Structure 1
Amino acid sequence: MPASKPSDPDADTSAHRPLRTFGRIKSRPIKPLQAALFDSLLPSIAVPDPAAGPIDPMALMAGSTSAWLEIGFGGGEHLAAQAARNPDTVILGCEPFLNGVASLLRHVDEGGLKNVRIHADDARAVVQALNPASLDRVMILFPDPWHKARHNKRRLVQDEFVADLVRVLKPGGRLRFVTDWENYADWAREKFDANPALQFTGPADRHAAPDDHVVTRYEEKKLGDIAPIFLDFVRI
């Protein structure tokens, strides 16, 4: 998800909602054909409302053999490519940036992808609603870095969220975190290492992209302060 921030990042401090971990939700106008997919396609592939009750990801696609979650799918290139490579895996994608949702809807439509489910909002609500030990894999790619120290509290990766991820991962389930901000990589590594249910698995060269990684347009823009850092963990 692009590195951005709301114009007043300290404005949403209501006790009734968590701090926002993401920046803008819309930038340029959405193209008409993509906008139409919000009405024609999104309702049929939307993740159930997290407020309505527990979510069993395996029940979202008949015949699925595994369930993955991608948090912050940006333009959707990575998620769509993974879905095409793994047609028996139902992949849930969460992204509050509406232009990104529109882009993924186009990828799903053009690729005829049947195994994608979308939540066009904060991922934390979905994670909290998922059944325990229901995911085989979680991918967090380029979350908003909130690189100023006073805004670190808004980072997605916090102790409580890591605990939520551990709850929904199956034993042996995998977690990948990717960022192009060095301080966030160090922050995330510390948070993940602090949870005894997660074991770091590499890569040894943290800049070495794993074989199954898909490079995205955002990644190619090189907006961070360092080359992408990859951190992989397994739920033990």
Structure 2
Amino acid sequence: MEGSIRVAHLTEVNEALKNLSQLFQSWREIRSIKDTFTETTRIIEQLLDYDMAVLYLLGEKGLCFIKTTGELEERELQTQKILNEKLFKNSSPLIYEAGFQESTISQQFDELQDIASVILIPLLNKKGLQGILACASKERHSFSSQELLITQIIADALNSRISILLYQEFLEQNNKELRSITKRMRHDFANDIQALALGMELLATTELNKEQKKYVEILDKSITSATKKLRELKELKKKVERDYQ
């Protein structure tokens, strides 16, 4: 498979860039990391002769997505404590053109046990290592400079897209919590207002002196103000939900 990259001439490079542009545009309609990687591997298969593409996603979830033939497979990642920044120096990819199976690092990648050659590209964010993109071949493979460039472009773009999707997920979770809090506040607030209003009705049937009537008027105004604020809170909740959508 030496020199097996299909991007060899200028016209083919232009075609590759066109495919990448279409890929990045398609991401705008995709809301999950799995679907994003599925679409990415479709482009990888068009441009490169890799046998396997694997996305390792570190963090709380600890997942990996594996694409060989057929559907994309999703697994829970067991070794993410070992996969850390120490594997990579200066954010540079790790490249094995042969003998990956015999390397000590291969033991940290259970999904790549039958692989001879591989490019491992770190996906980094401000917090450190976010994930790893692996493009692998079962046979000895000499990676060309163009092949490395295309793979790096895909990895960099994928890294940015994953960061966006994770942030959107964070916002969505916060929005759910906000909806829950405002719903509870409105419920409690409404109960308090109802209790005050009921108390006012009872007071209205009671003979009051001048000073007591003054206090009742103050309470009545407070109930009116609280009712108005309750409506404002309800409108604010609706606005937040509209803005998020």
Larger radius of gyration: 2
Larger RCO of the pair (alpha carbons < 8 Å, separation 6+): 1
TM-score normalized by the length of structure 2: 0.24
More strand per residue: 1
Q: TM-score, normalised by structure 1?
A: 0.24
